[in-house]
Structure 1
């Protein structure tokens, strides 16, 4: 994979702009690898009690945030795969609230959730390695919105950066 250029705003829904803009310039796989190291380091030594912490009523616990991060990366990677392969099927949306409610993240350990994040990221990196340059520019539809394969790669990276910032500010700074 040659160096992937940043997607244009026309390649993704406007609400994903907040994620794409967070991603630094550089080689996307390298960025994703370094993110995984930084997120893993941030979560080292987090107690199970802290993992159950909610910074406000109705907000997810830290464990639920970690589970959401893994679920969302899986979904975005699946969309990236389908679009990069030329599939033009309108891929369904998903409710992050329903996914978290349907999981039992609070019953898992922090270590299990961090391991899951790492495995999902490794799968994402493996997927990216096999995508040809021209496939990154392919567009498809997800949740009734046109999106490019490359924008999904940036959304994956930016989504993690967004939630890592939330974790640092709301869950670990007290």
Structure 2
């Protein structure tokens, strides 16, 4: 899968994520980001993983947990659409999911392992898709989108949050 979705393939809300994704095979991009994210976050201590750059902002643990939960949800959307299920899918509220997950109480190593397993599952799903499946469309939160778009949204969402971590969190640690 070597071409990005057109803007007609997803809700404009996600354009900021999609435009962050580099050209090339999206499966390779997601595989590289697994290695990169783990390389960036694995050296952090438990205390560092609890860092917030402001009192009302998520901790590093919460950001990683959010990336993982978001990928689960978006990969589920991708799966349903790729398999031809046109049943409308709902949106979700990250501001409910993150506090409800209690990520700060989880060991950071467990959050890293969870992220790794979810990404590997996403990669396995993407490797199994036929050319036709990538182009199938469905309805998510009232908007038409393709399976291909959700793969790029997953990648761009992670890039966005890793950029925020680098700029606002990790700079304070180093």
In structure 2, C-alpha distance between the alignment counterparts of 1:107 and 1:53, rounded to whole Å: 13
Partner SS, residue 57 of structure 1: coil
Q: What stretches of structure 1 move > 6 A for 4+ residues in a row?
A: none
In structure 2, C-alpha distance between the alignment counterparts of 1:34 and 1:130, rounded to whole Å: 18
Structure 2 counterparts to residues 18-97 of structure 1, below 5 A: 18-97=16-95
List gaps (5 residues or longer) in structure 1: none
Q: How much does 1:77 deviate? A: 0.3
In structure 1, C-alpha distance between the alignment counterparts of 2:78 and 2:38, rounded to whole Å: 24
In structure 2, C-alpha distance between the alignment counterparts of 1:90 and 1:46, rounded to whole Å: 40
In structure 2, C-alpha distance between the alignment counterparts of 1:44 and 1:113, rounded to whole Å: 10
1:84-106 Cα shifts (integer Å, max 9, x gaps): 11111110110011000111100
Q: TM-score, normalised by structure 2?
A: 0.96
Maintained 8 Å contact 1:4/1:150? no
In structure 1, C-alpha distance between the alignment counterparts of 2:131 and 2:37, rounded to whole Å: 28
In structure 2, C-alpha distance between the alignment counterparts of 1:153 and 1:69, rounded to whole Å: 14
1:34-83 Cα shifts (integer Å, max 9, x gaps): 10000000012211111111111211111000000000000000000000
List gaps (5 residues or longer) in structure 2: none
- Residue 140 of structure 1 aligns with which residue? 138
- Residue 99 of structure 2 aligns with which residue? 101
Partner SS, residue 101 of structure 2: coil
Maintained 8 Å contact 2:42/2:112? no
- Residue 123 of structure 1 aligns with which residue? 121
Partner SS, residue 140 of structure 1: strand
Q: TM-score, normalised by structure 1?
A: 0.96
Maintained 8 Å contact 2:136/2:147? yes
In structure 1, C-alpha distance between the alignment counterparts of 2:81 and 2:11, rounded to whole Å: 15
Q: How much does 1:5 deviate? A: 1.4
- Residue 169 of structure 1 aligns with which residue? 167
